[in-house]
A and B are shown apart, each in its own frame.
Chain A
Amino acid sequence: MSTFLIVLISVSAGTVLSSLLACLPGLHVYNVMGAMVLGILALEGSNWAVPVLVYLPAMTGMIVGWSMLNTIPAVLLGTPDESAMFTVMPGQKYLMAGRGYEGTMITALGGLAGAFFLVLVVAPLAPRYLPVSQEVLRGHMHWVLWIIITFIIMSEWPKGGNRGPAGWAKFYDAWKTLLMGIATFLLSGLLGFIILTRSPVSHEVAFQNIMPAFVGLFAIPWCLLNMISAANVPKQRITKSIEVDGDVILRSVWSGGLGGGLASYLPIVTGGVGGLLAGHATAQRDERIFIMGQGVSKFVYYVGAFMLMFVPGLYLTRGGGAWMIKTLYSPIGVSDYYLVLGCIAIAAAISYLMISPLARGTLWLIDRFNYRHVSSFALIIIVVMVLGVTGWIGLFIALVGTGIGLLPVLYGSRRLNCLGILLLPIACNMSGFGEAITAWLRLT
């Protein structure tokens, strides 16, 4: 079989697989890729060894497919319970207005626009300009992380303090949520110090050290809150068109591309942080731009981070996907770069075409089945995965992470503060006083 066909089939298979898996809430593509890496390593040297030309396109397709299609559970499978949560995400607003399908498609369109942006704009310029910025920023990443941390903490807005006479009571009412945000950041930071310094997870699966914590901080709370939600999904309408024009797409690419690009390039900074920074920087008010920008940002973040590993002259390892690939393969030359770019383009097209039928299918599903059961099923898969890869200790870490991850949602602060798990310990280590802190914590 020709190389072209092998690559085409592999990328298509990876895209389709991840697109289907992306519909399950809480399951992250990096978890699935981690299991795949284990399998590939186990088969190495045997008659069933998986060649690079199969797993590389497949994994590229998986990342693209997931980043495009995980919009579906994010928008359609999470009904905000206003008796439990303080804020409603923009995608959820569409769901509550019966426009969940429309919201999903707007986000997906953002993902497609992100694919064009990545392949046609970023890819040709990256080999020329990113090495320059690498040189300029060398030695400065630590304070970049610190100012991001500073902004995350200082930019959080008090949710209370809107009623009553002036005084300490009003001040405390306002600061309750801010203090909870700071507490979330510090608790997750402490969890990060523990895992990155003296992880209880077995060293034999250390490459998935952080997975239980992330699952606990983000995925499990999502599932749990769905399961106990007292809100139901309003009747949904499937529209034939969406109200966007070229300017909305342009501004979404501008906003989302900036956020996703920052997140993919800067170490430790995730898509949520990038989105926050870009949102504040571009000051877009239109909700369509916000939602579409999220689609752009997510795509550029996940796929862009993966792509950076293949940029000739750069070979930057960013994002969990790239770190996992690095254990199997080190890219060389421009041919790998073109291969990955081609796979991104193909996978983006396939996944975009899949989103409409899968969104409709999901709407059909939630019309007939209680979305809480879907979340329960997803929770079981997550728990089995954590248990299978990292054992009981991983499950305990996930539980602790769940506690921390529930705090912002139930007590009115930002989920973003949970990223302290990586931001705080790594910023401290980069600045050189991480060891002083771990010594004080008796971890070293």
Chain B
Amino acid sequence: MKGFSHFMSGVAVASFCPWSIDAALQGNPLFFILGGACGILPDTLDFKVYRFFYDHDVYVTPDPGHLDPQYIADEIARAVNLAYDDKRYIRLKLVSVRLGADFWQQYIVNFDNEKLEVTVKFGPVVNTGQVPVEGTENRFPQVARATIKCKVIQTYDAALKVDIFDGPTIGLAQRPDGGLDVDFLPWHREWSHSLTVGLMLGVVFAFIAGLFFGNWTVGWQGLVTIALCYGVHVVEDQLGHMGSNIFYPLTKHRTPGLHWMHSGDGLPNFLTVWGACLLIFWNLYRAIPDPTYTFGFIHLMMVGLVVPGLIMGGFHWLFTRRDRAAARGDDADDEWNDMKAASG
């Protein structure tokens, strides 16, 4: 899911803790801040810290001045063969090619397991919205090929399309049958997206609050808040495809997700955010001792979600009757397509 969805989910979970609202009414925003921050923290740890320290075995760095698909294909093949020969996990980095503030040269990597080769083709130049620039589609019709020594199995269905921002990392893992599994973004959710890590962070917070500030009450309340809000991020990511290493360090590998959604899908993200807002609203309302206006949970959901949703959905259906092929989100959207953040 997108960062903001995780963030609001964290805040919503925090709103269920009664001490959060009590503290807020006393002017203390701590628990809500913890909720939101811990909701987004797993991705922050990965994308803003860990990935810069994640070493790679092979860096594929195309030269923007001299674009050569064969170089890319050869380097990828070298990585595959290295993994096959040395029987070890190989980390391969595919660096993006920036041509302008808003322009990126796209290239596509494909593994042909029938012919045991990797193919690379340069696509069009795209802008940061991944929209092709007119006139750049067929500048490089050539498809480069390089031989690989074994099959490479892509269980993750994200296209190996390298275009905007930071390029992807591929992990090549040994299979029992001698082939290689492709791990997309192996550094992502390797340890950060773990319920146990959230719990440990909560324990650290509790100790700091207790030992340095002498407030064990805030300590345990913070522990619970952090653990729950951090954990909700892990739970939400399990709805997608990649999954997470849920009980690191007890578990070693990512548990695949439920494949219920892609992380960049618009509607699930919005429903998560909006649902979180309504839950927060409900919890705040419940905490009012003598409210002037009274309403039930169903009433709130009808007015806040169901009725406007039906109206919007109706209009959307009306306007898109002719075109039902709505573009699906790409898991790459979550981490890569931060167009609005970049242009904000």
Contacts and interface: CB of A to CB of B under 8 A. Distances in A.
Instruction: Consider the complex of A and B and state whether they touch directly, i.e. have CB atoms less than 8 Å apart.
Output: yes
A284 B329 CA distance: 10
Nearest to A170: B52
B269 A283 contact: yes
A251 to B, nearest CB: 8
A431 B29 contact: yes
B65 interface: no
A162 B293 contact: no
Interface in A279-306: 279-287, 290
Contacts of B337: 285
A380 interface: no
B273 interface: yes
A285 B129 contact: yes
Given A158-B48, A246-B319, A285-B129, A146 B33 contact: yes
Contacts of A416: 344
Interface in B23-50: 24-25, 27-29, 32-33, 35-37, 40, 44, 47-49
Contacts of A174: 48, 52
A136 B33 contact: no
A414 interface: yes
Interface string A125-168: 00001011101110110110011001100111111011101110
Nearest to A279: B340
A89 interface: yes
B165 to A, nearest CB: 7
Given A82-B101, A88-B343, A285-B333, A280 B2 contact: yes
B333 A247 contact: no
B284 interface: yes
A178 interface: yes
B288 A154 contact: no
Contacts of B198: none
Interface string B279-292: 00100110010011
Contacts of B54: 166
A171 interface: yes
B211 interface: no
A87 interface: yes
Interface string B44-62: 1001110111111001010
A129 B303 contact: yes
B289 to A, nearest CB: 12
Nearest to B337: A285
Interface in A393-435: 414-416, 427, 430-433
A90 interface: yes
A133 B52 CA distance: 43
Contact of A290 (B49, B101, B102, B340): B340
A86 interface: yes
Interface stretch (B3-11, B79-87, B246-254): B3-11
B165 A162 contact: yes
Interface stretch (B136-144, B146-154, B310-318): B310-318
A234 to B, nearest CB: 13
Contacts of B52: 161, 166-167, 170-171, 174
Contact of A432 (B27, B40, B48, B95): B27
B298 interface: no
A171 to B, nearest CB: 4
Nearest to B165: A162
A132 B295 contact: yes
B320 interface: yes
Given A86-B101, A146-B32, A165-B59, A283 B341 contact: no
Contacts of A286: 129
A254 interface: yes
Contacts of A158: 48
Nearest to A96: B102
A85 interface: yes
A117 to B, nearest CB: 12
A247 to B, nearest CB: 4
A140 B24 contact: yes
B325 interface: no
Nearest to A293: B340
A285 B341 contact: no
A155 B39 CA distance: 12
A162 B340 contact: no
B231 interface: no
A157 B338 contact: yes
B39 to A, nearest CB: 10
A171 B53 CA distance: 7
Most central of A96, A132, A159 by chain B CB within 10 Å: A132
B300 to A, nearest CB: 10
B27 A140 contact: no
Contacts of A163: 61, 95
* Most-contacted residue by chain B among A151, A171, A245, A281 (CB, 10 A): A281
Contacts of B47: 157
Contact of B7 (A132, A133, A151, A284): A151
A135 B286 CA distance: 12
B96 A162 contact: yes
Interface in B235-275: 264-266, 269-270, 273-274
A140 B28 CA distance: 10
B166 A162 contact: yes
Contact of A155 (B24, B56, B274, B341): B341
A131 to B, nearest CB: 7
Q: Which of A96, A246, A285, A416 is most buried by chain B, counting CB atoms within 10 A of its CB?
A: A285
Given A247-B316, A283-B270, 15 more contacts: A82-B101, A132-B293, A132-B295, A136-B285, A150-B37, A151-B36, A154-B7, A158-B48, A161-B51, A162-B167, A178-B48, A246-B318, A272-B344, A281-B274, A433-B27
Interface of A: 80, 82, 85-90, 93, 96, 129, 131-133, 135-137, 139-140, 142-143, 146-147, 150-151, 154-159, 161-163, 165-167, 170-171, 174-175, 178, 245-247, 250-251, 254, 272, 275-277, 279-287, 290, 414-416, 427, 430-433
29 contacts: A87-B101, A87-B342, A88-B343, A90-B343, A137-B284, A147-B33, A150-B37, A151-B7, A154-B7, A155-B4, A155-B40, A156-B341, A157-B338, A161-B51, A161-B166, A162-B95, A162-B167, A165-B59, A167-B53, A178-B48, A245-B319, A250-B319, A280-B2, A280-B3, A282-B266, A283-B269, A285-B333, A414-B344, A416-B344
What 6 A-B pairs are tightest by C-beta distance, nearest first? A280-B4, A143-B29, A246-B319, A247-B319, A432-B27, A171-B52
